[in-house]
Amino acid sequence: MSDGETPSPVEIREITDRALRIQRFLLRRAWGVVYAALSISMFMTVFGTPIAARLGLPEFAIVSLIIVHVLPSGAAVVVILLSFRRIRDTAEIRSIVTVSKWNKALGYKYIVSIWVAIYAIVFASVIFTGAASSLLLLVIYVATWGYLNYALRLSFPRGLPPEGIAALSSFGIAVVGSIVVVLFFPEIASIIYILWGANILVWITAAVYSRALRPQDAVEESLP
């Protein structure tokens, strides 16, 4: 297309597709940081509690909650916000061609508000009942899965990337499997560690895969 010529519908479509491919590539890499940060946070939540118990800390003492749950998850929130802040300006790319709310759903107001609400519930449970049950934490994970599913689908309206599907699926299996074990098979509670260990491995793999993407992958990927 030369200067002064009006682009044809086909050329506009090609430009639009390229812009969306670029943003999809940037978002996949940003989500790689999310997978990595949350996998560390999940590891501390699931495996940190028994470690803290071996060190002599009560399972749901305030100091134990802060060390094992609040600090790792807070650090994950900071890392996630920094990762998405770097590409927030690319929202202009999508806003030109389609309506999207992903940059708001993944902004600090939503994420920090959800994080504060979660730990307000946990601390309230500890203060008023003396413990935060495993079932309560799993219910919180159900809500977390719902938010991640919503945010991923906002980020990738043309279809979730394979690492996103794998992360959501493994997370859902770990949550549902853990709830079933807690409610109906408490005598084999150790299987929960197997479920979450496998889930964390999937999330780490998803993080490595998405962070290893190259710019040319954005061009080669087919979009519907």
The mean per-residue pLDDT over the stretch 164-180 comes to 96
pLDDT of residue 120: 85
Q: Does 2 or 146 have the greater pLDDT score?
A: 146
Structural domain span for residue 155 = 9-220
- Residue 136 within any structural domain of the chain: yes
The mean per-residue pLDDT over the stretch 201-221 comes to 85
pLDDT beyond 90 at 14 = no
- Residue 34 within any structural domain of the chain: yes
CA atoms within 13 A on the CB side of 155: 27
- Residue 141 within any structural domain of the chain: yes
Among 15, 24, 3, smallest CA distance to 158 is for 24
- Residue 3 within any structural domain of the chain: no
- Residue 35 within any structural domain of the chain: yes
Cα–Cα dist 123/82, whole Å = 26
Cα–Cα dist 50/197, whole Å = 14
In Å, what is the CA distance from 9 to each residue of 15, 20, 159, 179, 220?
Answer: 10, 16, 24, 52, 22
Number of domains in the chain: 1
Token pair listed for 32: 């790689």
Cα–Cα dist 171/75, whole Å = 20
Cα–Cα dist 21/214, whole Å = 12
pLDDT of residue 99: 47
pLDDT beyond 80 at 59 = no
Q: Does 157 or 125 have the greater pLDDT score?
A: 157
**What is the chain's percent helix, strand, coil content, to nearest 5?**
80, 0, 20
Q: What is the largest CA-CA distance in the chain?
A: 75
pLDDT of residue 73: 87
- Residue 1 within any structural domain of the chain: no
pLDDT in tens, 37-58: 999 999 988 887 776 666 665 5
pTM here?
Answer: 0.81
- Residue 96 within any structural domain of the chain: yes
Mean of the per-residue pLDDT values of the chain: 79
CA of residue 81 relative to chain centroid, distance: 11
- Residue 2 within any structural domain of the chain: no
pLDDT in tens, 81-121: 888 776 665 555 555 445 455 556 666 777 888 888 888 88
